[in-house]
Amino acid sequence: MNADVILMDLMRLLAGMGIFLMGCEVMSKNLEAICSDKLKGLLSRVSGNKAVGVMIGALATIAIHSSGATTVMTIGFVNAGVISLNQAATIIFGAEIGTTITGQIVALGMFGSGNIDADIVFSALAGIGVFMNMFAKKEKQKLLGYVLTGLGMLFAGLNMMSDAMAGFAQTEGLRLFLANIDSIVILIIAGAILTAIIQSSSAITSIAITMVVTGLIDVHQGIYLTLGANVGTCLTGLLAGLKSEGVNARRTSMIQLIFNIGGVVVVSILDLLMQALTRGSLSIGLIFERLFPGLPHTQLAMFHTIFNIASVIAVLPFTNALVQLTKKLVPDEPEKKKKEHFFYVDENMIETPSVAVEQVKKEIVNMAAIAMENFNYSIAMIRNKDFSKEDQFTENEEELNFLNHSLVEIIVKLTRKSNLSKKDHFYLTSTYHTISDIERIGDYSENIMEYAKNMAEANENFSQSALEEIDDLSDLINKLFRCTIDAYQTGNKKQKQEARKLEDEIDELTRLMAKNHIRRLNEGKCSAIVGAQYLKLSNDAERIGDHLININDYAISR
């Protein structure tokens, strides 16, 4: 072959890889958007049952077509304390099984009979998907069109790569060079490096399948390239773990690394022992060649699936031991007091919007709880002149200020994601108002604390009747908060209606408080300073109720 032909085949290979990877990306993002309602909370509902964790990890990976995304989500959940390290381990095991689906799809596409090639038929899905997207009116139908387009692009790219590989196979020098690469260490390292660069083990496995089918490499070499891809895919998890602040996030990425490297080492040793004991007459590659004769694409795809399933079955009983090992390898750090931080949101999860939105909701609910905690602290201060919680109050206020700005930044990033569903986008646009309302609750609580300090400096006290009214008002606001949060989380209409009734009661009580205050003032039962603080307190408390009702209204619009 001359240099021009080789150059054209190389360009065809690069074009095919680009189309293949873009197809995977389009299919993955739109599958995620379609499955968003079911995917939300799926990973966070892992029970103590290991098999359930594996199943959820596998299903999540198949649904979004990305083991890397599943791993990043899992690390985010662990970092937020939503799931335990043991539960995260089983999810990651399942993700390793789910990621083999791409190899099976590629192998299926290489079947054909007569003049009909399955990969061409599947490639036609790209055009079908485009037309479906153009004429569909419903969002899910459009998303399904994109999924079909991505699947078609995957096979179109695969077809171009296969043609390029077939051209390379006619180059005697290249074939001899590749044939002489029989070192399993070199093949594993090559697979790992290529996967780390492309950040897609599915792509490397698919390329390995096309190389085996065109005769560029044999099944034995393809197996070890695939094993290397299993190691290289850990890079995504390692990067996510390093960027996360929690030590358990790093432990989660370490579990994936140990699991994948351990599996590669064990199967490599078994293969070498098998060859040594049979004097080369039997190997893992030969076993799969005999199991699926004449089907090299199926041989490699089935090896990948069976290897990952067998690895999970072998390791699953030792999950607890593996978790304990990672705790020793990644020990606890000296506790650092950090005043401002996210409790649920992890920036790594932004790439998976459907899950990130769920975490934003939890963060907002937690932010509201912090604001109400400060309200109750402030009531205790003005009622009892008890300032023992002032430091905690200040920390909470700093946390609220942090969330008010940082959470909005996260939401802005999420709203820019192309694979965000309309429902989630609509919800996110309402969160700006909700966060502002919560921040204002914190501000009014801070005002009440200042009134308490003024009272303490003047050595003034409320009358017993005034204290009883303050207690009644505080109870009503806390009831309103509980109803509002329930409505916000579940959309419960009864709680929404109950919240409205409570707001009316708060308004009525604050009017009564103002009336009673004037009476006590006329009777000489309180001073002007006490009266001023009392009126300000009731007014701010009423406004806190108004902001809670605003949150309640946005819960309805979801």
Q: For residue range 276-301, list pLDDT tens digits in order.
A: 999 888 899 999 999 999 888 889 99
The token duo for 325 is 């090992």
242 is a domain residue: yes
345 is a domain residue: no
Mean pLDDT of 528-550: 86
- Counting residues of the chain whose pLDDT is more than 90, the rounded percentage is 29
What CA–CA distance (Å, rounded) separates 341 from 246? Answer: 11
Asked whether residue 193 falls in the same domain as residue 256, the answer is yes
* C-alpha torsion sign, points 488, 489, 492, 495: negative
Asked whether residue 162 falls in the same domain as residue 288, the answer is yes
By the 10 Å C-beta count (0-12 exposed, 13-18 middle, 19+ buried), 50 is classed as buried
358 is a domain residue: yes
Contact 80, 346 (CB under 8 A): yes
Asked whether residue 441 falls in the same domain as residue 311, the answer is no
Asked whether residue 360 falls in the same domain as residue 299, the answer is no
For 331-368, the pLDDT digits (tens) are 876 554 445 678 888 777 777 777 788 888 889 999 99
339 is a domain residue: no
Name the residue with tokens 């819960």. Answer: 555
Say if residue 40's pLDDT is above 60. Answer: no
Name the residue with tokens 């209409």. Answer: 493
Asked whether residue 308 falls in the same domain as residue 420, the answer is no
Residue 227: give the domain boundaries. 3-329
In CATH, what number is assigned to the domain containing residue 396?
A: 1.20.58.220
Asked whether residue 124 falls in the same domain as residue 193, the answer is yes
503 is a domain residue: yes
Asked whether residue 307 falls in the same domain as residue 374, the answer is no
What CA–CA distance (Å, rounded) separates 229 from 222? Answer: 10
**Paired residues of 113 in beta bridges:** 116
For 94-121, the pLDDT digits (tens) are 989 988 888 888 787 766 544 445 567 6
Q: Between vectors from CA 427 to CA 23 and to CA 361, what angle results, nearest 5°?
A: 95
Residue that finishes a domain, picked among 296, 329, 362: 329
274 is a domain residue: yes
Asked whether residue 69 falls in the same domain as residue 195, the answer is yes
Total domains present in the chain? 2
Asked whether residue 303 falls in the same domain as residue 380, the answer is no
Q: How many residues does the chain have?
A: 558
**Paired residues of 117 in beta bridges:** 112
Asked whether residue 356 falls in the same domain as residue 227, the answer is no
Q: Which residues contact 24 (CB under 8 A, 6 or more apart)?
A: 65, 102, 150, 154, 200, 202, 203
Contact 148, 127 (CB under 8 A): no
For 190-210, the pLDDT digits (tens) are 888 888 877 778 778 888 888
Give the SS3 label for residue 124. Answer: coil
Using alpha carbons, select from 400, 419, 406 the residue that is nearest to residue 140: 419
Asked whether residue 409 falls in the same domain as residue 440, the answer is yes
Say if residue 265's pLDDT is above 90. Answer: yes
The token duo for 514 is 């103002």
Asked whether residue 278 falls in the same domain as residue 140, the answer is yes
Q: Which residues contact 15 (CB under 8 A, 6 or more apart)?
A: 157, 160
Q: CA–CA distance from 527 to each of 359, 447, 518, 519 (Å)?
A: 49, 20, 11, 12
Least confident range of 9-23, 104-118, 326-340, 438-452:
104-118
Amino acid at residue number 151? L
The token duo for 121 is 């038929």
69 is a domain residue: yes
pLDDT, position 494: 85
235 is a domain residue: yes
Contact 146, 133 (CB under 8 A): yes
By the 10 Å C-beta count (0-12 exposed, 13-18 middle, 19+ buried), 437 is classed as buried
Amino acid at residue number 378? S
Name, of 28-37, 350-359, 465-474, the range with top average pLDDT.
465-474
- Looking at residue 335, the DSSP 8-state letter turns out to be P
